[in-house]
A and B are shown apart, each in its own frame.
Chain A
Amino acid sequence: MELRLLRWQSSARAETCREYIASLLASWCADWFIQTQEDMRVERLLDGDEVPNGQEVQWWLVKAGTNRLHLAVSASEMQLMGRRMLAMEASRSQANGLFATTSQKAVIDLLRRLCGMETEAAMEAEELSGAPEEAVLAARHGALGFEFGSPFTGARLYVNAGWCDRVAPVKQNTRSGLTGRTSAISGAKVRVEAKVALGELSLHDTLDWQVGEVLVMDAPGVTVASLSCGDRLLGAGRLLTERGVFMVKMDKIEMAGNSGSGKSANG
């Protein structure tokens, strides 16, 4: 049996992103290539954590707001792209610098367009000295990778989760309506843990602990307990007791969309 990495994004969302990139590529090609038949297309969605390596590969990073775009293209492909843009013959080797500069400007312009930025001032672009950490390109962190190109050249583009959210926003369930598939799990039980932060103490102090010793909390007054589910903080409130049982009266809800007054939540 073969195990394959999950893509961590729905096919519909990936397709929306692919279409968006494809439409921008078409207008970008029309603006930068003298011969308009040199259309570049999105060839495929990269599988799993497929990342090119090798010394030949140049990496570009663009940051704009929460958008992070990484582009990988080989130096020879950059030159070839510039040559095609200017529609010059391959034998004009003395113009290699011009080709590289042209394709570099074009690539930055493509990334700017993909970020939805009108001007370069609103974004940071840099050529990286090597491949980025794999984590920022990994599908499990919400990144999507696309290979695009034409018969003569190609490049790989990695878009982060922030970019995907802008181009293909995830539909949020409204608070009052657990709809569709979500309603099927509405009755499932989850464990919510209550914790009280007692303060900080030195490691040295902990060595002296003995049974019977009393640790006194730093702050007097109301005891605040936090509620969490797994590693996610849900909120915080006052720790109370009633008929010998602990309770937490919620003062703050961390989950988006929940506010206002309510009633008893659990028994």
Chain B
Amino acid sequence: MLPRDMGLIGHVEVALVAEIGHAEMTVDELFKLRKDDVVRLKQCVDEPVTLLLDGKAVAKGALVAIEDHLGIKITEIL
């Protein structure tokens, strides 16, 4: 077995995604979805978002604006 040395794989880059929230739509609404339509999510801006590392939930955080960049302040490590 390889030793659990993160030095071996620490440089590997993984995709980080924030799961903002969800909406419920009927099948009919889904098929009628068009450009410029607005989909309203069930989440409020002050609710925590889930951070996914290659699809796996690893942390929760709050969206923050830092000048014109979006940021996420980590509130919980899962």
A220 touches B68 (CB 8 A): yes
A192/B24 in contact, CB under 8 A: yes
A211 to B9, CA, bound (A): 24
Which residues, 32 to 53 on B, are CB-close (under 8 Å) to A?
A: 32-41, 43-46, 51-53
**Contact of B22 with A216 in the complex, beta carbons under 8 Å:** no
- A217–B75 contact, CB under 8 A? no
Closest to A235 in B: B33
Report whether B20 and A250 are in contact in the complex, using a CB–CB cutoff of 8 Å.
no
Which residue on chain B has the smallest CB distance to residue A210?
Answer: B74
B66 CB within 8 Å of chain A: yes
Identify whether the interface residues of B are mostly helix, strand, loop, or mixed.
strand
Number of B interface residues, CB 8 Å?
Answer: 57
Q: Is the CB of A214 within 8 A of B72?
A: yes
User: Are B69 and A204 in contact, CB atoms less than 8 angstroms apart?
Assistant: no
CB pair B16–A245 under 8 Å, yes or no, is no
CB distance from A180 to the nearest CB of B (A): 14
Q: Mark A73-96, 1 if CB is under 8 A from B, else 0.
A: 000000000000000000000000
Binding site for A on B (CB under 8 A): 6, 9-41, 43-46, 51-53, 58-59, 61, 64, 66-77
**Lowest 4 CB-CB distances: which A-B pairs, in order?**
A262-B34, A204-B10, A186-B28, A265-B37
